[in-house]
Amino acid sequence: MKEKIITKKILKWYDLNKRSLPWRKKVSLKKKQYYTLISEFMLQQTQVTTVIPFFNRFIKNLPSIDSLAKVNEKKLIKLWEGLGYYSRARNLKKTAKIIIKNFNGKLPNNFEDLLTLPGVGNYTANAILAIAFNKPNIPLDGNIERVLKRYLYLKEKKEIQKDNLLQKKTIFGTTLRSSDYAQALMELGALICKPNNPICNQCPIRNNCKSFRKKDFTLAKNIKKNKEKYFILKVYKKDQRYLLIKNTKFNFLKNLSIFPMEELSNPKNFNENLNFKMSNMSMNIKIQYSKDNQKFSSAYWFDRKKLDSYMLPSFTKKVFQYLEKN
């Protein structure tokens, strides 16, 4: 009974306060499924406000699964440029091709089939099922996780483990409006139950929230350490041209243009020039100007004057910014 009351309160709040987002527009069911797929990939590790203009541009250029499956990689990466984590874009295209080949051009509507798609894990599968197919799945993203932790006052290390949170999320109940409800819970976490300074006086479920009762809104967190990686980055220069290579060596920034690099294992007295955070990795970069005759596959000379108009990953652009200042 309590779950039904919670559900009604959250949906009522959502109907009055939800944001107008491009992937929430009223469109055909087929388009809604496609919009959900694209938005969920883009929203992985990226904020909503950042995603909106990229989503609009992407949909304008690739309005369907079929067009996504056929797009060439250069155009795909150009449309994705600025969002980072380019493997998401490549996985999207792979997913589109699999949907065309194995699922008759239709986005799968069951958990097992969704997990066969590149880049789709448990969270994304649950989000697609809830939002695109109105199934009673609650995707446990950072926003919903935060609401859950505060609502139940989960503080102990064992309480905030993913497995326990997946069990506890049933407290939110179910509804015939599963699509709206999943988005409502996400919205509640994003707009009201913020990481810092939650707006409790506007929260529809505050009266039953244990953190609100205790006036303690701090969040227990699983601390993840970034993996420290060390690289020598070589700079080859001719006038205003720099040698770049197509990356086939490292798992990050796969097939994108980077400066030649070598990874070091636990170097001593390593004095980096740059530090770059990428997913759960901290890249420590030492830059060396080089004139050796080493040959690289897929190498080309890049004109620095074309930096603003050329498709390069943000990591490579950051290196150029450093070189200009030093």
Catalytic residues: 40
* Six token digits for residue 307: 């930096």
CA 209 to chain centre: 29
Alpha carbon separation from 21 to 11, 54, 64 (Å, rounded)? 17, 12, 19
DSSP reduced 3-state for 63: coil
Question: HEC states along 218-255?
Answer: CCCCCCCCCEEEEEEEEECEECCEEEEEECCCCCCCCC
Whether the CB-CB separation of 93 and 72 falls below 8 Å is answered with: no
What is d(CA 16, CA 180) in angstroms, rounded to the nearest whole number?
12
CA 95 to chain centre: 16
Beta bridge partners of 238: 241
Residue 261 DSSP class: E
Whether the CB-CB separation of 35 and 234 falls below 8 Å is answered with: no
What is d(CA 249, CA 308) in angstroms, rounded to the nearest whole number?
26
Q: Which of 113, 117, 107, 139 is nearest to 126 (CA)?
A: 139
DSSP reduced 3-state for 284: strand
CA 88-71-76 angle, to 5 degrees, is 40
What is d(CA 124, CA 182) in angstroms, rounded to the nearest whole number?
12
What is d(CA 78, CA 80) in angstroms, rounded to the nearest whole number?
5
